[in-house]
Amino acid sequence: MFKIGCHLSASKGYAHMAKEILSIGGNTFQFFTRNPRGGKAKDIDPKDIEKYKELATAGNIPVILAHAPYTLNPCAKDPGIREFTKNTMADDLSRLEYTPGSLYNFHPGSHVGQGIDEGIRLISEMLNEILTENMTTTVLLETMAGKGSEVGSQFEELRRIIDNVTLSHKLGVCLDTCHVNDAGYDVVNDLDGVLEKFDKFIGLDRLTAIHVNDSKNPFAAHKDRHEKLGEGYIGLDAFERIINHPALKELPFYLETPHEEISGYEKEISILKNLRK
């Protein structure tokens, strides 16, 4: 099954997102758990969840991916920001149990001058405080572009975080094609080589989801600016190889490309479906 979808607005609830993704030809979706700047989350409406589950079953939605607000920083220097991040993520994880078996993606964070070792230590420490044995959600570390002092642009760094987490079987990785290309992993000319490195340092069994984004910047630019598919430095030929690669093809793929209208995603979902073998 080709699991393909895009980022959607959660403002109208889960059932609305399910209807929306099915209406544009997708079968999975990503959404922010709350305002991306990290405000208070909307109360869960049990009726909305019930309706969502009916739609997900009828429409064969295999999984959904919740994205943490991107302003959180698990390895901030300010203990107040770290505390806020931890509480927000813990709250997100408890809410996600309304939809068991979901994925929760977060940016490992920026060490803001404290150094990579301290960044990795703080991220692991926070995960050790919020992961629980009973949770059904898989928590995904996203591969980052390496902008500023971002942690997680190198596979070794993600490996070190995972190694320091006690309940590491609750962790996975979400690979963002724009980010890894920006970070210096050549997904255009050497996809096999990139995946070999991923396997060596992290293990392909950890790879749980893919963000499908073209990049506005050339290889190894360390910028993180997404582009529409085929309009950036990665290009459609590379995406064809990515979505059909034996190590990736069963994973859920999410578009996070810049579009004003949902029809932009509809078009890209149809492009990828046509490239799928």
Residues that bind Fe ion (CB under 5 A): 142, 176, 211
Cβ-based neighbours of 170, under 8 Å, separated by 6 or more: 131, 135, 137, 138, 139
Q: Which does 160 bind (CB under 5 to 8 A by kind): Zn ion, Fe ion, none?
A: none
Question: Closest CB to Fe ion among 119 and 152?
Answer: 152
150 is a site residue for Zn ion (CB under 5 A): no
Reading phi first (left if > 0) and then psi (alpha if -120 to 50, else beta), residue 9 is in beta
Q: Which does 159 bind (CB under 5 to 8 A by kind): Fe ion, Zn ion, none?
A: none
Q: How far is the CB of 1 from Fe ion (least distance, A)?
A: 22
Q: How far is the CB of 268 from Fe ion (least distance, A)?
A: 15
Question: Closest CB to Fe ion among 76 and 209?
Answer: 209
Three-state SS string over 219-231 comes to CCCCCCCEECCCC
The residue to which tokens 């898989």 are assigned: 138
182 is a site residue for Zn ion (CB under 5 A): no
- Given a contact cutoff of 8 angstroms between Cβ atoms, the answer to whether 227 and 221 are in contact is no
Cα–Cα distances in angstroms (integers) from residue 116 to residues 81, 112, 158, 220, in the given order: 18, 9, 11, 19
Question: Closest CB to Fe ion among 48 and 176?
Answer: 176
Q: Which residues pair with 79 in a beta bridge?
A: none
Q: How far is the CB of 224 from Zn ion (least distance, A)?
A: 4
224 is a site residue for Zn ion (CB under 5 A): yes
Reading phi first (left if > 0) and then psi (alpha if -120 to 50, else beta), residue 107 is in beta
Q: How far is the CB of 142 from Fe ion (least distance, A)?
A: 5
Question: Closest CB to Fe ion among 27 and 105?
Answer: 105
Instruction: Tell me the three state secondary structure of residue 269.
Output: helix
Q: Which does 224 bind (CB under 5 to 8 A by kind): Fe ion, Zn ion, none?
A: Zn ion
Question: Closest CB to Zn ion among 15 and 38?
Answer: 38
Comparing every residue's Cβ against Zn ion, the nearest one is 224
Q: How far is the CB of 232 from Zn ion (least distance, A)?
A: 12
Question: Closest CB to Zn ion among 137 and 257?
Answer: 257
Q: Which of 119, 91, 94 is nearest to 107 (CA)?
A: 119
Interface positions with Zn ion (CB under 5 A): 224
